[in-house]
Structure formats: structure tokens, C-alpha cells
Structure 1
Amino acid sequence: MASVESFSEPVYVYEKPVRLWHWVNALAIVALAVTGFLIAWPPVVTSGEASEHYLLGYIRFSHFSAGYVLAVGLIGRAYWALVGNRYARELFAPRVHDARWWQGLVDEVRWYLFLVEEPRKHAGHNPLAGLAMFLFYVLGSLFMIATGFALYGEGLGAGSWAANAFGWVISLLGGSQQVHSLHHLGMWYLVVFTLIHVYVAVREHHLSRQSVTTTMVDGWRVWKDDRP
């Protein structure tokens, strides 16, 4: 558990590659959600020759491009978890083997439910936030990448790299239409998680005992009081 009861000075938590990934990834998710929605409910063009309109083509291109950014970014983030500081690993490795981590998780649940007056201090993710990021963001993103590239491979055609690498997803999940439906459902899953993530980050920045939102801007965790 990343408890910092002994710390009183600012702690450098998020290195530049982590912060860059965070904001680029956030933009990619927004682009994917907006273009994915438009692909599911395409805008109607009612005038002119069909050959003069390529709106949906541009939307699909933007969606595919943002998908590449999401996938490459996650690979890069996994690499940095191996070579970066200890806080860079928290996204992929919740400390479930540590009894203190579980106690911290219970404490955070009580804090979010307004059952305690103040939370503990944490340099990196608090246990509940770290677990949520792993279960909902990491695993959710992997699902969206796998299903997204499986559908992309259908468009590229048999023998393409995407069809070869992810074609098995179509068969595993019960066919193309089923994958389309699950991929679309996954979009709403990530949208809801993102909204909750933003709310909690803003809430914690104002109510907890350490900086939160500004830490992802400058990398430094700053304490708001001198109590343990």
C-alpha cells in the first residue's frame, strides 16, 4: 500500500512519460467514443451524389487512428511500468498480496461512503483507485482493443495482419454481430468509467489530504496538512 504517513515533503510520483500517456490516452478515448457513436448512428446526408460525400469514411478513419493510439499507448505504458519508478507499476499490479493494502482498501471504501472524516495519505494510487484502474480501465481497454482490431480485420480482409492476429476473437465471442454489440457496449462501459474517474479525481483533489488533479500535470504529490 502506498501509504505515506512519514512523508511531509512533496513526492515526485508521475514521471513525464506517464503524464504524456495519460493526456494523449484521454484524448484518444474521447475521439473513440465520439466517432464510435457516429459509426453506430451515422449522420444522414440527404443531398448531392453519394460519391461526393465521404463523411462516414473520415469518421471511420479517425476512429481507427484513435484505436491505434490507444493500443500503442497501452504498450508504451506497459513498457514504462517496467523501467519507470515504482508508482508507474501500480496501474498493472495492485498489491493484493499485501494485507496492509486490503486494510487501505477498506479504509478508502469507508471514505468514499462518507463514513470517516478524512482519508489516509497515499503517494501513488490509493488501493481502491488502483484496483478500479486495473479492473475497469486496463482490462476494459484490452477487451476494446481485441474486439476493435478483430472488427478492423474484417474490413481489411482475410490475410491482413489484424485478421490474422485477432480473427479468433470473432469466433470466440459468437460471430461478427455479437462482437459489434459487445464492442459498442464496451464503449459505454469506458465512457461511464471515465465520467466516474473525473468526478472522483476532482472530489479527491478538493476533499482529500493530497493533491490529485495537479499531480497529473506536474508530477508532484503535495500534502495539504502535516497530520499523519
Structure 2
Amino acid sequence: MSTPQSGPLSDSDLKGTNLDGQAAQALRARRVTQIYVYEAPVRLWHWLTAASIVVLAITGYLIGSPPSTLSGEASSHFQMGWIRALHFMAAWIFTIGFAGRVIWGLFFGNAWSRELFWVPFWKAEYWKDLLDELLVYAFIRKEAKTTIGHNALARTALFFCFTLTGLFMIVSGFALYSDGTGIDSWEGRAFGWVMPWLGGNLSTHYLHHWGMWIIILFVMIHIYTVTREDITSRQSLISSMTNGYRIFRDDRPD
């Protein structure tokens, strides 16, 4: 665990803020605490996964709703082939990154890197924090308490809308891919049970499609919440995923 670093804001911290007089004096009096939370492998995984999700969403949509037919000989065009190829490449990046993230979180990373993989439903404090966060985002409560890692609401959303949904997308995606590689391929042997279990090819396509929309909706809400938190709360979020540090802008214990 990283040692928290804190101290008053210096003149260099205020450079470029165009603040002077009482405003600058008040800011200098504040203490800033920073804790190294998001390690380099976690940050690399985050941005690679974000890029792969963008490619997967666009190409997946085009696979489900193909663009207009091109004129001319079919042999002269490889439009859908390129769309599928990009989808499969992004899927491999997402899958390898997901597996690497699990290995890092469970065996090498700090305590915060494991928060994606379980939710402490049995703890009363979790339910209290979850309610507090819901009240904040419903604009009933003014501000949320500070948390070093993910707050209860973010942790719940990550677990259900990203971790579990992402795992389903990997499994169902390889099951659909095995249709082309055949039952004797490693994809067919490893994931051939999925489509019969889900009710067949069409229902697997349907559920895979809706899994994409769950992740897209999660990403949209995620971008909104981290931006809102970075602007309105007493702690940083967006910059934390570039330098790894969570910055807390006051000394209040909550």
C-alpha cells in the first residue's frame, strides 16, 4: 500500500490559476493528500480496454446491421470482411486484457485492484455507502464521502455491468466464432456448449447484442459520473487513471 502524501498547497501549485488575495490564501491553507491507487498495469489495461470497447461496439453494430450493399463485383470488395476482422482483433485484445486484469488483481496488485471481482453484500457499511451514493446522484444529498478505491455504487456497477457482462460477452463471442471455425476447433471444443445452453444460435446472437448495449450504457454513465465526481467532489478521478494517484483536497475524515 502506498504511503499517503499530504501538505499545504504551494505557490507553484497555484501558478496559472489567476487567484490572488484571500482566495489564494484560502487555497494555500488547504491540505492535499494523494494516495497511489491505480498501478501502471491497471491503467494500461483500462485504456486498452476502453479502445477495444469502442472498436467492438462500432464493428459489432455493423455486423448486426450491415451497411448498404456495394455496387460492382463482390470479389472486388472486402467491406464486411474488414469489419469482422477488426471485431475479432478487438475481441482478442479485450479477452487477453480481461484475463491479465484478473491475474494481476488476484495475485499481484494492491487491494483496490481486486474490487472489480466481488461486492461485499454481507457488510452493513456497504449498503449504507450504496444508499449515500444513490442519494448524491439523485441530487438529494449534496456530497459523497471520500473513498480511496471505488465507492459502493461504482463497485456494484462495475461488477454487474462490466465484469460479469464482459465475461458473458467473451464466452458468447467465442461461441459464435466457433460457428465459423467448426466443432473440431479449440473454440468449438471449449465453447460449443454455450449456444445449446442459451437456446441456439439466434438467441446467442440476441443476448450478445444486448450485452453490447449494457456495456455501452455503462460506459456512458461511467464517463458522466467520473467527470461529475472530478468537478464537484473533494477527490480526483479522471487524472487518477493517468498518473495513478487519488488526490483528496481536504483533511476531513469522511
What is the aligned partner in structure 2 of residue 42 from structure 1? 66
Q: Which amino acid aligns with 2:213?
A: W
* Aligned ranges 1:187-206 → 2 under 5 Å: 187-206=212-231
CA 1:116–1:46: 2 relative to 1, 3 Å: closer
The answer to whether structure 1 residue 219 and structure 2 residue 244 are counterparts is yes
Q: 1:95 is matched with which residue?
A: 120
Query: In structure 2, what is the equivalent of residue 136 of structure 1?
Result: 161
User: Matched residues in 2 for 1:96 and 1:13: separation?
Assistant: 23
Rounded Cα–Cα distance in structure 2 between residues aligned with 1:155 and 1:44: 23
Match of 2:48 in 1: 24
Which residue of the partner structure matches residue 112 of structure 1?
137
**How far 1:110 moved relative to its partner?**
1.3
Deviation at 1:206, TM superposition (A): 0.8
Equivalent position amino acid for 1:40 in 2: G
**Partner SS state of residue 90, structure 1:** helix
Q: Look up the match of 1:54.
A: 78
Q: Which has the higher contact order (CA 8 A, sep 6+)?
A: 1
Are 2:174 and 1:159 equivalent residues in the alignment?
no
Work out which of the residue numbers 33, 57, 60 in structure 1 matches 2:57: 33
Q: Percent identity?
A: 48
Q: Tell me if the contact between 2:236 and 2:247 (Cα under 8 Å) persists in the aligned partners.
A: yes
1:124 maps to what in 2?
149
2: CA distance between counterparts of 1:127 and 1:158? 42
Mapping for residues 68-87 of structure 1, pairs under 5 Å: 68-82=92-106, 83-87=108-112
**CA positional deviation for 1:105:** 1.4
Shift, 1:115, TM fit: 1.6
CA drift at 1:207: 1.2
1:192 positional shift:
1.0
**CA distance in 2 between partners of 1:158 and 1:201 (Å):** 44
* Counterpart secondary structure, 2:71: coil
Q: In the TM superposition, what is the alpha-carbon distance from 1:166 to its structure 2 partner?
A: 0.8
1:63 matches 2:87: yes
Matched AA of 1:154: D
1:40 shift after superposition: 1.2
Structure 2 unmatched runs, 5+: 5-30
1:189-217 Cα shifts (integer Å, max 9, x gaps): 11111111111111111111100111111
More moved, 98-107 vs 173-182: 98-107
Distance 1:20 1:55 in 2: 31
Report the TM-score, using the length of structure 2 for normalisation.
Answer: 0.84
Is there any run of 5+ residues in structure 1 with no aligned partner, and where?
none
Bigger mean CA offset, 101-110 vs 59-68: 101-110
For 1:192, the aligned partner's letter is: L
Output the CA distance in 2 between the equivalents of 1:52 and 1:20: 39
Q: Residue type of the partner of 1:16?
A: A
Max radius of gyration: which structure? 2
Q: Which residue does the alignment assign to 2:25?
A: none
Instruction: Compute the displacement of 1:157 (Å).
Output: 1.1
